[in-house]
Structure 1
C-alpha cells in the first residue's frame, strides 16, 4: 500500500506545528523522515497512525482518505511503533505481542493456529523468542522496544509507521533491526535521528525543518554538506561507506558550522506542544518556509512515485 500526505497542517493551541507537508511513502519502500528536534516528524507520523487529526490536508491510504476508513479496518493495514511507548503492561512478552492480532479477532475470540504462528515468527524476528514467558515490566528498555516492534509485526500490516525505532537499542540490535526492515519490504514510514542509518536503510528521504518539508529525494541527493549546514547547523563531509557504498556522513565535532543548531531558520527556538511532544513554533504564527538562499532543488517539493 502507498501513503500520500497532501498539504498537511497540524496545530496545537492555535499554533502551527506542521505546515503544508506533502510527501509520499511508495509501496514496498522505506521512506525516512529526518530533521532537527522540533521539526514536526513525530507530529506528522501521529496523523498517519490516527493519534492526531490534522487541521487541514489529508492522509491517503492507497488513494482513500484515512478519515473515511473505519479504525478497526485501518488497524489491519497500518501498525505503529510510537515514541510514547507503554511501559506498564502486567503481561508476559508473548501476551503483549499477541495484542497485535486484535484487529483480526472478534470479541472474546481466542487464538488460532495462525495467530500462534504469526506471534512466534514476530518474536523470533526481533530476537525475543527465548523471552516469551517473561513479564514485560521486567525487561530492559531495549528489550521492551523489540517486544513492541514484534507486536507491530504481529499485526501483519501493509504499512509500518515507526517513530525512532532504534531508540534504546545497542549497536548490534540497531543493525539487525535495520536489516530486518530492509528484508521485509513493507511500505514503511520511519523517523530517524541517525542520518547514517537513514542513508543506509531508506529508499527515499524527506527532510523536515520548522514543520515544513524542505528537501526530498534519494539519500545521496538529499544528504549534502550544504543541507547539513543549513538544516542541522553542522559541518560535515559526505563520502562513500567503505563496506556498503552508501553515503556516509562524517561530522566535524571540533568546528561546527552553526552554534545555534537548535533554532529555526528565522532564529526562533523549538517549542513543545501541550502533550509534551516537540513542535517547532514561531511565536504563534506558524513555522516559516525555507531560507531564500537555499539551493533551488530543495525548493521543488517532494518528488512523486
Structure 2
C-alpha cells in the first residue's frame, strides 16, 4: 500500500511543528525521514499512525484519507513503533507481542492457533524467542526495543511506521534489524538519525528541516555535501562504500560547516 502526505500542517500550542509537508512512501519501499533534532520527523510520523491530528492537509492510504477509516481498520493497515514507549508494561514479553493481534480480535476473544504462530514467528524474527516468559520490565532498553518491534510485526499490517527503530540497539542488532526490514518488503516509513544507515537501507529519503521537507529523492541524489552543510551544519565528503557501493558519508569531526539558510538548499524532487 502507498502512503501520500499532502500539504501536512501540525501545530502544538499555537506553534507550527510541521509546515506544508509533501511526501510519499511507495509500496514495498523503505522510505526514510532524516533531519536534525526538532525538525518534525516524529511529529509527522505520529500523524501517520494517528496519534496526532493535522491542523491541515491529509494523510492518504492508497488514496483514502485516514480520517475516513475506523481505528480498528486503520490498525490492520498501519503498525507503528513510536519513539515514546509509554509506561512499563507489567506483562510478559509474549503478552506484549500478542497485543499486536488486537486489531483482528473481537471483544473478549481469545487467541487461536494462528495468533500463537504469528506471535512466535515475530519473536523469532527479532531474536527474542527465548525470552517470551520474561517480564517486559526486566529487559534492557535494546531488548525492549526488539520486543516492541515484534509487536509491530505481529500486527501484520501493510505499512510499518517506525520512529528511530535502531535506538538502544548495539551495532549487530542494528544491522540485523535493517536487513530484516529490507527482506520484508513492506511499505515502510522510518525515521533514522544514522545517515549512513539511511543511505544503505532506504530506497528514498525525505529531508526535514524546521518542519519542512527540503529535499526528496534517492539517497545518492539527496545526501550531498552541500545539503549536509546547510541542513545538518557539518562538513562531509560523500564517497562509495567499499563493501556495498552505497553512498558513505565521511564526517569532519573536527570542525563544523559554515551553515547558511536551509531555505536556499535546492530540493531534489522525485515522483
- TM-score, normalising length: structure 2: 0.98
Cα-to-partner distance string for 1:212-240 (whole Å, 9 max, x where unaligned): 00000000000000111000000000011
What's the counterpart of residue 47 of structure 2? 47
Which runs of no fewer than 5 residues in structure 1 stay unpaired?
266-289
Which runs of no fewer than 5 residues in structure 2 stay unpaired?
none
Cα-to-partner distance string for 1:226-273 (whole Å, 9 max, x where unaligned): 111000000000011111110000000112214xx7xx94xxxxxxxx
What's the counterpart of residue 16 of structure 1? 16
Aligned residues: 271
What's the counterpart of residue 144 of structure 1? 144
What's the counterpart of residue 303 of structure 1? 270
- Residues 98, 154 of structure 2: 8 Å contact kept: yes
- In the TM superposition, residue 26 of structure 1 has moved relative to its aligned partner by 0.2
Ranges of 4+ aligned residues in structure 1 off by more than 6 Å? none
| 2: CA distance, partners of 1:59 / 1:291 | 24
- In the TM superposition, residue 86 of structure 1 has moved relative to its aligned partner by 2.8
- Residues 87, 137 of structure 1: 8 Å contact kept: no
Matched, 1:236 2:208: no
| 1: CA distance, partners of 2:93 / 2:76 | 21
Matched, 1:291 2:258: no
- What are the within-5 Å matches in structure 2 for residues 41-190 of structure 1? 41-190=41-190
| 2: CA distance, partners of 1:91 / 1:185 | 30
Cα-to-partner distance string for 1:79-103 (whole Å, 9 max, x where unaligned): 0000000341111100000000000
Cα-to-partner distance string for 1:93-144 (whole Å, 9 max, x where unaligned): 0000000000000011111111011000000000000000100000000000
- In the TM superposition, residue 291 of structure 1 has moved relative to its aligned partner by 2.5
- Residues 214, 263 of structure 2: 8 Å contact kept: no
Cα-to-partner distance string for 1:20-74 (whole Å, 9 max, x where unaligned): 0000000000000000010000000000000000000000000000000001100
Cα-to-partner distance string for 1:274-300 (whole Å, 9 max, x where unaligned): xxxxxxxxxxxxxxxx433x34xx1x6
What's the counterpart of residue 272 of structure 1? none
- In the TM superposition, residue 12 of structure 1 has moved relative to its aligned partner by 1.0
